[in-house]
Structure 1
Amino acid sequence: MKCFPHGCLTYGQGPAGTAFSSLVTHLLAAQCLITEPWPKDYSYGLTSGDRFDFIIVGSGTAGSLLASRLSEDNSTVLLIEAGGDPPMESIVPNFSGATHKTRNAFQYYTEVDENSNKGSISEISYWPRGRVLGGTGSINGHLHMRGSEGDYAPWHLEENDGWDWPTLKKYFMKSEKMVDPLILNNPELRKEHGTEGQFVVDQLNFTHGDIVEKLTNAYKELGLTYLDDLNGPTQMGVGKIRGGIHKGRRVSTATAFLNPASERKNLKVMKHTFVNQIEFDEKTNKAIGVKVSLLYGDIETYYANKEVILSAGTINTPKILMVSGIGPKKHLKELKIKVKSNLPVGQNLQDHVRIPIPVTVDTGATQRDEHFWLKAAAQYLLDQTGPHTTNYDQPNINAFLSVEDGKSLPDVQIDHNYFVPNTSYVFSMCTNTMSFKDSICKQFADFNKDKELFIFFVSLCRPHSRGNILMRGNNPMEHPKIFSKYFNDTRDMDTFVKAIKKVTEIVNTPTLKAMNAEIKRINFEGCDDLEFESEAYWECMARTVTYNVYHPVGTAKMGKEKDPESVVDSRLRVIGVKGLRVVDASIMPTIPSVNTNAAVMMIAERAADFIKEDYKIKENKKDEL
């Protein structure tokens, strides 16, 4: 059978043929428009030895925002990024996961740990970190959560240190431009949010509204309170999630802050540029610049009149510090690195850890065929609406609960995936994103065969366990050793198992019973002989299907200057040297109960004002074009 009995030219003639041909042409051209006005690359447009007031290393969530704030006046700013412009997959919300195992992310893995990751490929945890403008904020899951006052109490150590909750709340709100009508039209909710900032926050949508309604009802039947705003005074309950997706595109600090500032003459951005080390004045121990490697191997040095600021993230910031002589004295001496300041760099590593709990249900949903996804692609190209404008498989609610009643902060956070029957990519999602072994991922695919599948991701909000990062050698480009040490503190496993037992009671609620909900057993050697759903079984699962939440923090801990655990002081200045500051998630003394991206933005806003105060820089929001 021939599709076209006549030549194609015949079908292209006449009004109908012209209309259809125009549509095809438009669709082909439309994908070229899915980009952003990224800043010009000056990696080969500057001269080695050039000077700037501030050099910022890393254009991630903190670095892009900070570069924008510090260049608001006449200060000259150099922003250095190891990667390049985010790809189309970063911009289109549904494809964010496709950025992970690409050149757009640092391919980091933890070391083998006997306490976790038995079911992971090579028994190690995969930790991708963004290597593009916007950093990990350009490849993450879009959520914008700030936590509550209790999350930040350990950060506030002294009167007037600038880390009290009223001050932090002000800086959270400074960046934010809330556009969700449900928030804006409710005066009590609106007062908790910023509406004049540059980072647009909106309600995240989900294609299967009926599924969200059922899941929400089940949590309410479990005893959780429905919260209109998960960024309100408490997260204890269940509610809709909000984040950085607006008009069908990702919002990151690169799109919200860096791009609008990119035409400023006093701001230069170097892409595909790797910082090898910080340069110091040997007499004064002051950071005076950075030595970098360009894309084609050129080695150049750039100098800072005022400060070098590290915003390279929880893994790369301690790596740069240590290779530059700032870190644990014993470790640096073993690597034959001259010690400039003996500090516990790389210690205090924390991360949210979670496991996936598979639950099959039956609501009568059917498989999505190729036609559905072709239509979704066309819909996005034509007007940037439809399934690709969301995290398609992620119901737009989260739940938070504690093991014991009466607590002000949650013990676990629960997010979800939902798959219609016979979803074609469940196996690949399991192997590529969650990085589990084939034997486990085949089971997940089998659970989804002819049945709808929920995955309840239960994550530990405030772990006691602490990991660390060490250098492998003195080569700045070599990946460091990452010791996650999940569940290294027995209190974590005790809380986690009890919380899982509480969460899984949801299958006994009337709503999920009506959906024929069933928790599925994951078979794995060492767990198979344990009673299903017993505490011993869930502990075995926690050590087997261990899955990180991509929220590492804490490796350059902020604290009092004389505290032996501190790396930076309360104004984020590196202790023991001059002219060097850290502004990213590595300074967090403790991890918040929630996703960390919003907190990193707050840190950058807080740091920008510290720096302006220290150098008596007057804020001037009028761009010099």
Structure 2
Amino acid sequence: MPMIRQTLIILLVLQTITSCVASTCDDRPLRRPLRSSYDYIIVGGGTSGAVLASRLSEGSDSVLLVEAGRSDLENAFVPVPAFSSTIQLTPDDWNYFSVPQKRTGLGLNDRRGYWPRGKILGGCSSTGYHAHNRGSKFDYDEWSREGAKGWSYKNVLPYFLKSEDMQIPELSQSRFCPMQSNIKNGTRCSSVSCFLRRVLHRPNLQVSVKTHCSKVLIRRRRAIGVEVIKDDKRLRIFANKEVILSAGIINSPQILMLSGIGPASHLRKFGIPVMSNLPVGKNLQDQLSIILHYTIDDDITYTSEKLTDSANFQQWNASRTGILTRAGTDGTLFAKTAPSSQTPDNYPDVWILGFSYASDVGIIESGLKFNYKPNVIENQVKNADSSGFNLFPTLVRPESKGTVRISSNNPFVAPTITPNHLASAKDIKTMLRGIRLAQKLVATRSFQMVKPRFLRRDFGRICKQRFNSNAYWICMLRHFSVHIYHACCTNRMGARNDPSAVVDQKLRVRGIRNLRVVDASVMRNQIAGDPHAVAIMIAEKAADIIRCTDTVGKWRRQVSSLFQCH
């Protein structure tokens, strides 16, 4: 067992016992027996699903939220912001891997990227790295121009504001500020802990964990319920009003295809009757990144020793303060690097994330998971340091598109994920500009104060091109570029006549009544940022669409002056 996880398990024993006592009380509503029908059935208790369930149950309608994973209270690592990586490659993650890649992945086992997704109440909001980015206003205005009417920045900003509790005063004073994160009072603020758990007592809301949805029940092109497997029993539960899929960018398209909604030729391969021939899973957009590590002398960054120090843990456990209240992503930079007159000057194409982690042995073995080959890990261990930081030049809006496909008609068989990274030459050029921008950043006087030294990763000189040339970095991208958990768009929204769209502007699945998708899979295009905040916004807006209400009038009036010229 890796050192960090083994030590943390020992440190968390006391808290685990405390959490288990609390869960006896807090999770009691999760143990109610399932009924035969509900007004709304939401599939997926992740980032969007938990928010949507909390909103739809505000009235008298009965709501069932089904989640394949267990309660978040059963994992003592979840509330600690610094411990996200300890949840990866555990039963609380779906542990998906991509298919072998053609143009990338030379440094990965079988050229397959690791695609973590939370299989726990709260989904990725319970397992991810807390980043909160709305994206650029131009992202949403583009959605609207392309046919997703009602999703311009003017339309969605009030829904962001509704869910936010911004506590960073520097935001109103400067273009630079601390990282915006879903952390409150030193603890992870997931969609469960900050939205759902406080309303679990509602008599019209039921949450069923360890409940795997196998398909949507459809009769005469109308969704009438879901089929689920719980406690090894196959059950059918019916929806009086709607079925809503909020299972995420991998599982929502999988469930649709298992239900007969998707590319007809693909479904027929598995003997699945076609209910609606739609481009489900065809628009996978993923933000590719590469890690640039710099070693420094000053002991000012995360190390495995600090993360496992009992004093730091005791401080967090007692007061929710200290180093464990940070996720490690301490800063981000968005920049437009392309000399294009077709996009606004402040529309970014590159995102640089700053992680204040050293590359010591414990971090290498137990930190972010990428499915590196054993010899890559061995080389990193040989070149481990005691203090340093990482910069992640990241492709904001990939031109390369991938797919999600079912690989079996068995709902327990993982779908096929094909990211198709770097299929476009434009994406390679953008990544090269991102690397150069990161190098310029490190060369600034502020960074040079800590004397950063770049740590090469091309052990054995596997990239034989001249060091730091564009050819060298293209080779490095082929070997070491990675998925950093920010994919979207596999059930794209669009206008009724848009052949690329799976759902319409009201998130209704085309051709099937009483069925919607509400999660990051409906995003039309990738945004400048992490999709997490967008998934919450989508749920907030969907709740109003479904109920035909307007709950954001206060925030709309608050920001109306920003749009008076448009």
TM-score (norm 2): 0.88
Output the CA distance in 2 between the equivalents of 1:126 and 1:559.
30
Cα distance, 1:496 vs structure 2: 0.8
Output the CA distance in 2 between the equivalents of 1:507 and 1:387.
24
Corresponding residue number in structure 2 for 1:388: 324
Output the CA distance in 2 between the equivalents of 1:355 and 1:245.
26
Cα distance, 1:43 vs structure 2: 6.3
Cα distance, 1:559 vs structure 2: 0.6
Output the CA distance in 1 between the equivalents of 2:371 and 2:71.
26
Corresponding residue number in structure 1 for 2:191: 253
Tell me the SS of whatever aligns to 1:396: strand
Within 5 Å, give how 1:170-569 maps onto structure 2: 170-183=158-171, 186=172, 227-228=175-176, 239-281=177-219, 284-294=220-230, 296-363=231-298, 373-391=309-327, 394=328, 396-404=330-338, 407-419=345-357, 423-429=360-366, 433-449=369-385, 452-524=387-459, 527-569=462-504
Corresponding residue number in structure 2 for 1:64: 50
Q: For residues 246-300 of structure 1, what are the alpha-carbon distances to aligned partners after superposition, in whole Å with 9 as ceiling and x for unaligned?
A: 122110111111111101100011110000111112xx31000001100x21111
Corresponding residue number in structure 1 for 2:67: 81
Output the CA distance in 2 between the equivalents of 1:65 and 1:561.
27
> Larger radius of gyration, structure 1 or 2?
1
Percentage of pairs with the same residue: 34
Cα distance, 1:33 vs structure 2: 3.5
Cα distance, 1:363 vs structure 2: 3.0
Corresponding residue number in structure 2 for 1:141: 129
Is 2:86–2:366's contact at 8 Å kept on the other side of the alignment?
no
Cα distance, 1:29 vs structure 2: 5.2
C-alpha change, 1:538 and 1:618, in structure 2 (3 Å) is closer
C-alpha change, 1:322 and 1:370, in structure 2 (3 Å) is closer
1:377 partner amino acid: F
Is 1:31–1:381's contact at 8 Å kept on the other side of the alignment?
no
Is 1:354–1:459's contact at 8 Å kept on the other side of the alignment?
yes
Output the CA distance in 2 between the equivalents of 1:157 and 1:578.
26
Corresponding residue number in structure 1 for 2:560: none
Tell me the SS of whatever aligns to 1:433: coil
Name whichever of 312-321 and 243-252 sits farther off. 243-252
Cα distance, 1:385 vs structure 2: 1.8
Name whichever of 503-512 and 592-601 sits farther off. 503-512
2:363 partner amino acid: V
C-alpha change, 1:618 and 1:412, in structure 2 (3 Å) is closer
Cα distance, 1:381 vs structure 2: 2.3
Matched, 1:32 2:17: yes
Q: For residues 408-448 of structure 1, what are the alpha-carbon distances to aligned partners after superposition, in whole Å with 9 as ceiling and x for unaligned?
A: 2112111223345x834132046x62321232223333433
Output the CA distance in 2 between the equivalents of 1:126 and 1:472.
17
Corresponding residue number in structure 2 for 1:573: 508
Q: Which runs of 4+ in 1 moved over 4 A?
A: 26-31, 34-39, 41-44, 364-372, 616-619
C-alpha change, 1:158 and 1:609, in structure 2 (3 Å) is farther
Aligned-pair Cα RMSD in Å: 2.6
Corresponding residue number in structure 2 for 1:124: 112
Within 5 Å, give how 1:37-56 maps onto structure 2: 38-40=26-28, 42=30, 45-47=33-35, 50-56=36-42
Name structure 1 gaps, 5 residues minimum: 1-25, 190-225, 229-238, 620-625
Corresponding residue number in structure 2 for 1:105: 93
C-alpha change, 1:532 and 1:569, in structure 2 (3 Å) is same
Output the CA distance in 2 between the equivalents of 1:473 and 1:118.
27
Cα distance, 1:383 vs structure 2: 2.0
Tell me the SS of whatever aligns to 2:309: helix
Corresponding residue number in structure 2 for 1:152: 140
Is 2:48–2:539's contact at 8 Å kept on the other side of the alignment?
yes
Tell me the SS of whatever aligns to 1:177: coil
Output the CA distance in 2 between the equivalents of 1:558 and 1:259.
30
C-alpha change, 1:257 and 1:365, in structure 2 (3 Å) is closer
C-alpha change, 1:379 and 1:513, in structure 2 (3 Å) is closer
Is 2:85–2:369's contact at 8 Å kept on the other side of the alignment?
yes
Tell me the SS of whatever aligns to 1:465: coil
Output the CA distance in 2 between the equivalents of 1:260 and 1:371.
30
Output the CA distance in 2 between the equivalents of 1:111 and 1:27.
36
Cα distance, 1:44 vs structure 2: 6.5
Output the CA distance in 2 between the equivalents of 1:342 and 1:41.
39
